[in-house]
Structure 1
Amino acid sequence: MMVLGPLGFAVPWMLAAGAVLPVLWFLLRAVPPAPREVVFPGTALLLGLADPAPITRHTPWWLLVLRLLAVAAAILALAGPVWKPGPQTSGSGPLLVLADAGWAAAPGWQEAQARGLAALEQAEGQGRPVALWIADGQGGRGAGPVFGTAAEAAAALRAAAPQPWATRYPDDPAAMLAEAPAAFDTLWLSDGLDHPGHAGLLAALTSRGAVTVVPPPRILRSLALEGTPQPSLVLRASAPGPLPDVLAIGPDPQGVPRQLARMTPPEPVAAGDGTIAATLPIDLPPELRNRITRFAIEGEASAGAVVLADDRVRRRKVALVGDARTTEGQSLLSPLHYLRQALAPSADLVEGGLADVLPAAPDVVVLVDAAPGAQADALADWVDEGGLLIRFAGPRVAAQETLADDPLLPVRLRPGGRDAGGALSWGEPRAIAAFPTDGLFAGLSIPADVTVRAQLLPEPDPELPDRTLVQLADGTPLVTRAPFGEGQVMLVHTTANAEWSNLALSGLFVGMLDRMVQSARRSPAEPADPAEAAHWTAELVLDGFGRPREPEGLAPVPAPDFVTGPGPLAPAGVYAAAERRAALNAGGGPLVPAAWPGATVEATGTAPGTPLGGWLLALAGMLLAADALGSALIAGSRRGRRAAA
């Protein structure tokens, strides 16, 4: 592109056509306008006479100016004029256009595309070989850029889109550039962040030629979920400035997704690298919080600005029910005290008798060393409609004469229970066996010092293995579960305090309770297939702009790959494994600005320029219309006046 002051020309050689304007002046000047037609009978006497010295009439000067201006406007339009053109790509050899295509590129994707297409158009005019590399991790390991025509690269750039995971660079830049020319220039359309492999790739590119970096045109913001007992959102920005609100989105009573709440961030905290962050506690009523499907930064269009809700976000309402006698004596030794301490950070608790808590519509009822009594039918109806009943054993349950006939137990129990380590010992206290890798408690660490001294034992049953979630080291069950209508019943075969076990004194007790409570409102009719439970299956995924879509063609993700975060095989979205639902959110982690040693960084927010070709063509058309009107008026004939009208 040739630049003359604030005006640039994409096809400057077209300006050479302006040399014909003086020639057109003389040609058009010698062409007379159409003669006037006058009907006069006496002109018949002049037939056969010839004028020995004819005088040529000339076109009026103003009509010549109109015609020349029309031709000049057309020539300028074909030269591709641009008012205040954007930055130009220097060099004349091969050109590599490298585009960051992670979620962070989504907010400025249109601007980056426009800058890349302008560079490709310029390279096409110069006849430069061009290659396009999309840094989204899908180019294949070891596959380097292929240099070809600018038109092919432009078509690929128009079809590209940001992805719902972070930008990914090759592990080995030298192998990536093995087939590239020895020297070439690079235009890097950056998202502004420092991703793994950034420094090595930049060094490899600067060793081949000049590197020009196009920074993002706006501040980048992300949203992440902190996995604390009290979940909270972390809103980060790549530069200081006002932070927008966070919207909580979920279905209304008619099932239509809409904004359910607006969360205003507090005063942000600045980091040493220039970024800022603010923490927003998810302090919403349980009824509202449990309907939320996602949180989104207002006005931001990227997968990193969206947090999908999963089991960590939903806050269950848990009812604690125990026999009144369990509160006698020292309150700090009561089973209800241990349950309060374990559940209060992650659940909303209500306490009382069954007649008091069932009208409150809890998600979970925890029945501690007690029988349902007169409320057995009401409790059974509640579980049948989808509730989760968690029962803890104890000496009072063990002493019940009708224990084997209790319908609200997952297994039939033997009366009396089992005592280990006493006078009539069956052996030493038992440790807890390793959790199944596809079970409800998969991933929890079992402390070596946690042991069980007493438990309630079940009667032999062919369904017992399928209903056992946790075993002791000797193979006897510690936690069992069975479906009951649309709900489910769980039994912990030991006490909720330290009377029969030291489990309640460990952090494992908190983790197990949290998993059990989070499984509420999930009642699989059959045990999960171990082959499927070892993988995570996508239920909903996001695109790079944060828009939800149905997963298509995605294979189940192995558990080891799932924990590494979003990627080409596991886009940001909501995944299910057995009874658990977990969200892969793209906006986790700090926003680390990228450094560019040895590269030229363009000014942020540089405008691409305003094309003037269309306006000049419109002007040429208007001038030609004015020329036709003027010619008709000069003709002076009746037909000309009608044409002028």
Structure 2
Amino acid sequence: MIFQAPWLLAALAVLPAVWLLLRALPPAPRRQVFPAIMLLRGLHAKVTEAATAPPWLLLLRCAALGLMIVGLAGPVVPRQAADDALPGDPLLVVDDGWAAVPGWPRRLAALDAVLDRAARAGRRARLLTTAPGPDDAAPEAGAVMSPGLLRGMVDTMRPMPWGTDRAEAARALRRLAAGGWRGPVVYVTDGLAGPGDAAFATALAAIGPVRTLRAPEATIAALVPPSQNEASRNDGSQNDGSHNDGLRVALDVLPQPQPRQWTVRAETADGGVLTLVPVAVPAGADRAAGRAAIPVELRNRIDRLVLQEMPGPAGVRLLDEGDRRRPVGLIGVAETDTPLVGPLFYLRRALAPTAELREGSVAGLLARPLSVLIAPDGALDSPAARQAVAGWVRKGGMLVRFAGPLLNAVPDGALAGAPDAAPDDADGETAAAAPPRDDLLPVPLMEGERQLGGAMSWGKPEHLAPFPDESPFHGLAIPADVTVSRQVLARPGPELADHSWARLADGTPLVTHAALGAGEIVLFHVTSTADWSDLPLSGLFVGMLRRLTERAAGVETPAGHAMLAPYMTLDDAAVLGPPPPGARALAADAFGRAAASAAHPPGLYGPRAARRALNLGDAAGPLAAQAAIGRTMSLSGAARDIVPGPDLVAAGLLLLVADALLTLLLRAGRLGGKRGRAVLGLAVLLAGGPATSARAAEAVPGAALETRLGYVLTGHADVDNVSREGLQGLSDYANARTSAVLGHPDGVVPGRDDLSYYPMLYWPVTADAKADPARSAALNAYMRHGGILLIDGQGVDPAGPEAAHDDFAAPAPGSLAALRRMTEGLDVPPLTRLTDRHVLAHTFYLLHDFPGRYDGLPVWVAREGDSSNDGVSPVIIGASDWAHAWAVDAQGDTPYATMPAGDAQRVTAYRFGVNAVLYALTGNYKADQVHVPALLRRLGE
């Protein structure tokens, strides 16, 4: 133990004098029965000497004074060895990038401990953070200041939502060393390796001895884009009409020797959770992936992916329109599944990573919503099929067609926007005598095919020309090895250039388009296979199809070098907000490759129609542990020293209070000089009193001191946890919007716990529920004395068939039988269906529906007019699963989706819960208010 003011210990020398001074104690008063007044003349005053204080009281006073002296001397119990003391003015170096977000309070506590030791040693300190500042300022060492002032800065520090720049930090250290600064270095690392680590370690060692504080088990991970293999199977073996691969997620993790389990939440823009994706990380692995089956309609509502175990921006992946999987229909034709030569073979592989693929006939595909319909050569030979597709296109769809020998067999096409036009042929005969005309073409076509290269042609395959500015393909890089050897030609005309999105080097159209009603028709003048061109073999084919899919979804595709300004960025808590001062615009073609930084923080960029998301995991790369620098110790080893001074002073003051009380008792003669009784009283005062008070406090339930809701424990940890979270969320909601003051909910066991403290009990139905006479008797007594029992079937209507409410609800078998078993022996009154006329529908909010997690299920209450319990229904029975709708987890999120109306349905569920709570607290007060006019009229009569 060390003392901050050791000179105060000299006061201990006066304790013997205190002993002598405090020995004197005024004598106890003597009781005298006075006779007649004349007898008083013979009485003479006796000189009495002061009584001596008992030794135990003197010891008490000396102990009180000694404790106060020692406490004021500032004792400190170090938690580190003496050789860990700082030999000079320390330099604090802190990694404050995104990887430091987990355990950030522990890092600040370790820095406080270092500053405490520096203050006791009379040192000064300075601070260097390794992440660039919000204004994109490079890391730079701060000024030298006292530990007290520096502690104020450290305690307000927050990590940055981007990575560290140890290379710039090394330059700052070298400048510091060149300026003559020498001293110990305390480095608080995030444990993550990064570029420039070697130079950084050398620069630290040049300052002085390095002590590195590291978390014992760093939990670092980042959500990353799924790779091609993780995003799609792409094996060509599936032919069931659907290529939905669900929601796939991937994360990079810092390898650990033991396996771990992570969970990714898929959230909507309003905070609702659509699904949870479990991700298993094997021991020693640095990457893992997971998948969840989810319909594309729900998948496209996902706004962000959140890694539950990793706080901060690295655990969040924002999704933009490029991440949406658009439903794309592929019209099947003969030899569809032939590998390498099938008309859909390359289309599947190009679209599978970014689109929801569906294959089938025209009628089957158009029966469901589609963004794009793709027709290879020969897919629209039937006039009925063309008519159905034309109607779909006029309503806003996009048809993408590919040329081929079968398409060129039709002698004449017509501009899709003018289906009634019939151009004359060269002999003056009208096209009315020709075979049926294909109206689903953007431009008229010439007969025959154009052969470019080959044994029968003098020409050679043509390369592609740059895409025009107005083309949706503008900005895509054109590979030099992509050539076209055969094509169908468009009939020349003055408007042909306006309908061309892509051309060959000789100016002939490669991709043409035209509007048809509210939709659009696009034609590739080559086949969807590699027969006529190398285009399907290139990455350009993938980019072109993706641009068309985005265009069909109404997404504006920015040019490759267009600069997108930051719209909203993530902070260290992964909350979107205004961008920091140093944030700058980023080129559109850099997304997916650029790393998040102070200049380009993670977040959303660009206007609404062309918004792009920049995430930390887009270019993070594999995560690795940082090599040891200097002497490494755990963060817990830098805990603050124990300072017992205030406690010692407080103990001394308590002993002085005890001394004053005992002195009063001695002066009053209450102790009668019996020292044993005095010692016993002192022991009771100092030891027995607090213990008795604590036992008395424990004997009083918390529900007796504040209003709480209760839930019946079922023995299932998951069900009981949801009940607790649900009632906690309802209590918080009621506290924020009503005058009710509710504490945290309690789990109770009827028959064991006293239920009289709880105005309402929530009881969920479980499939294994059994009858219990003791429980039924306790609940009957509870309801007879005014308590309300809310029974929740969790998706099973107690008055309906034993079936799920919808596709999302899957109650356990036997749920209705379990409800009957668990309510056996309960005195349930005659029930009626709850309507908006019941007092429960207007206790606080005016309600017409009473949903929970599910909507549309009835709620049952006691029949009105029941005289028992003053007309208040003692039981409410429903199956809407209210606890899941009310539940709020430790992070303040609502982890369970409400279906089908989402957040609006959750608000109504909260309002029903508030009405039920106030109904339980106020009884039929609202019902009395309804009858006030009738009561007044009767009084008037």
TM-score, normalised relative to structure 1: 0.79
Tell me the equivalent position of 1:265: 280
In 2 relative to 1, CA 38–228 (structure 1 residues): closer, same or farther, beyond 3 Å?
same
2:98 pairs with 1:103: yes
Tell me the equivalent position of 2:57: 63
SS at match of 2:637: coil
- Aligned-pair CA distance for 1:110: 1.0
Matching residue's letter, 2:538: S
In 2 relative to 1, CA 351–173 (structure 1 residues): closer, same or farther, beyond 3 Å?
closer
In 2 relative to 1, CA 15–210 (structure 1 residues): closer, same or farther, beyond 3 Å?
farther
Tell me the equivalent position of 2:228: 228
Residues 554-563 or 102-111, more deviating: 554-563
Please give the per-residue CA displacement for 1:386-434, whole angstroms capped at 9, x wherever unaligned. 6544333445556464521347999952332783638999975431234
| 2:482–2:533 Cα contact (<8 Å) kept | no
Alpha-carbon distance in 2 for matches of 1:90, 1:451: 76
| 2:393–2:517 Cα contact (<8 Å) kept | yes
- Aligned-pair CA distance for 1:567: 0.7
Matches within 5 A, 1:125-136: 125-136=120-131
2:348 pairs with 1:349: no
| 1:419–1:426 Cα contact (<8 Å) kept | no
| 1:320–1:365 Cα contact (<8 Å) kept | yes
In 2 relative to 1, CA 73–361 (structure 1 residues): closer, same or farther, beyond 3 Å?
farther
Matching residue's letter, 2:288: T
SS at match of 1:566: coil
| 1:218–1:605 Cα contact (<8 Å) kept | no
- Aligned-pair CA distance for 1:112: 0.9
Residues 104-113 or 350-359, more deviating: 350-359
- Aligned-pair CA distance for 1:158: 1.4
- Aligned-pair CA distance for 1:196: 1.7
Residues 146-155 or 182-191, more deviating: 146-155
| 1:440–1:580 Cα contact (<8 Å) kept | no
User: Which residue of the other structure, out of 95, 112, 115, is the alignment partner of 1:117?
Assistant: 112
RMSD of aligned alpha carbons:
4.4
2:12 pairs with 1:19: yes
Tell me the equivalent position of 2:564: 536
Q: Paired residues, what number?
A: 614
Please give the per-residue CA displacement for 1:339-367, whole angstroms capped at 9, x wherever unaligned. 23443465443222321102233343212
Tell me the equivalent position of 2:585: 556
- Aligned-pair CA distance for 1:132: 1.0
Tell me the equivalent position of 2:302: 292
SS at match of 1:171: helix
In 2 relative to 1, CA 111–460 (structure 1 residues): closer, same or farther, beyond 3 Å?
farther
Alpha-carbon distance in 2 for matches of 1:260, 1:70: 63
Alpha-carbon distance in 2 for matches of 1:385, 1:84: 78
Please give the per-residue CA displacement for 1:38-75, whole angstroms capped at 9, x wherever unaligned. 68789997999896xx8444444333333333344444
| 2:96–2:158 Cα contact (<8 Å) kept | yes
Matching residue's letter, 1:193: L
Tell me the equivalent position of 1:249: 266
Residues 501-510 or 13-22, more deviating: 13-22
| 1:420–1:426 Cα contact (<8 Å) kept | no
Residues 454-463 or 546-555, more deviating: 454-463
Residues 624-633 or 290-299, more deviating: 290-299
- Aligned-pair CA distance for 1:575: 4.0
- Percent identity of the aligned residues? 28
Alpha-carbon distance in 1 for matches of 2:92, 2:598: 22
SS at match of 1:602: strand
Matches within 5 A, 1:56-205: 56-78=50-72, 85-86=79-80, 90-138=85-133, 140-141=137-138, 143-171=140-168, 173-179=170-176, 180-205=179-204
Tell me the equivalent position of 1:216: 215
| 2:328–2:371 Cα contact (<8 Å) kept | yes
SS at match of 2:260: coil
| 2:254–2:625 Cα contact (<8 Å) kept | no
Alpha-carbon distance in 2 for matches of 1:101, 1:486: 52
2:468 pairs with 1:450: no
Please give the per-residue CA displacement for 1:485-540, whole angstroms capped at 9, x wherever unaligned. 8876544343323454331233432343344445552344xx85x6x961234455
SS at match of 2:115: helix
User: Which residue of the other structure, out of 415, 419, 432, is the alignment partner of 2:464?
Assistant: 432
Tell me the equivalent position of 2:711: none
Tell me the equivalent position of 2:367: 359
Alpha-carbon distance in 2 for matches of 1:216, 1:25: 52
Tell me the equivalent position of 1:585: 616
SS at match of 1:338: helix
Matches within 5 A, 1:410-425: 412-416=442-446, 419=450, 421=452
Alpha-carbon distance in 2 for matches of 1:550, 1:539: 7
Residues 575-584 or 492-501, more deviating: 575-584
- Aligned-pair CA distance for 1:565: 0.5
SS at match of 1:606: helix
Residues 450-459 or 213-222, more deviating: 450-459
2:321 pairs with 1:321: no
Matching residue's letter, 1:197: G
| 1:488–1:523 Cα contact (<8 Å) kept | no
In 2 relative to 1, CA 334–559 (structure 1 residues): closer, same or farther, beyond 3 Å?
closer
Tell me the equivalent position of 1:496: 528
Alpha-carbon distance in 1 for matches of 2:580, 2:517: 33
- Aligned-pair CA distance for 1:118: 1.4
Tell me the equivalent position of 1:273: none
| 2:173–2:203 Cα contact (<8 Å) kept | no
| 2:286–2:622 Cα contact (<8 Å) kept | no
Matching residue's letter, 2:258: G
Residues 77-86 or 37-46, more deviating: 37-46
Tell me the equivalent position of 1:633: 665
Bigger share in strand: 1
Please give the per-residue CA displacement for 1:581-621, whole angstroms capped at 9, x wherever unaligned. 34423483222222235x11114643725554554454334
In 2 relative to 1, CA 556–368 (structure 1 residues): closer, same or farther, beyond 3 Å?
same
Alpha-carbon distance in 1 for matches of 2:340, 2:563: 42
Matching residue's letter, 1:592: A
- Aligned-pair CA distance for 1:636: 0.8
Residues 468-477 or 234-243, more deviating: 468-477
SS at match of 2:597: coil
Tell me the equivalent position of 1:403: 414
Tell me the equivalent position of 1:304: 314
Alpha-carbon distance in 1 for matches of 2:70, 2:401: 85
Alpha-carbon distance in 1 for matches of 2:7, 2:497: 87
| 1:419–1:425 Cα contact (<8 Å) kept | no
Matching residue's letter, 2:302: I
Alpha-carbon distance in 1 for matches of 2:221, 2:38: 94
Gaps spanning 5+ residues in structure 2: where? 232-248, 420-438, 671-684, 686-941
| 2:193–2:627 Cα contact (<8 Å) kept | yes
In 2 relative to 1, CA 499–161 (structure 1 residues): closer, same or farther, beyond 3 Å?
same
Tell me the equivalent position of 1:207: 206
| 1:226–1:233 Cα contact (<8 Å) kept | yes
| 2:338–2:345 Cα contact (<8 Å) kept | no
In 2 relative to 1, CA 565–422 (structure 1 residues): closer, same or farther, beyond 3 Å?
closer
| 2:254–2:286 Cα contact (<8 Å) kept | yes
- Aligned-pair CA distance for 1:482: 7.3
| 2:482–2:535 Cα contact (<8 Å) kept | no
TM-score, normalised relative to structure 2: 0.57
| 1:433–1:473 Cα contact (<8 Å) kept | yes
Tell me the equivalent position of 1:391: 401
Alpha-carbon distance in 2 for matches of 1:174, 1:136: 13
Alpha-carbon distance in 1 for matches of 2:337, 2:68: 99
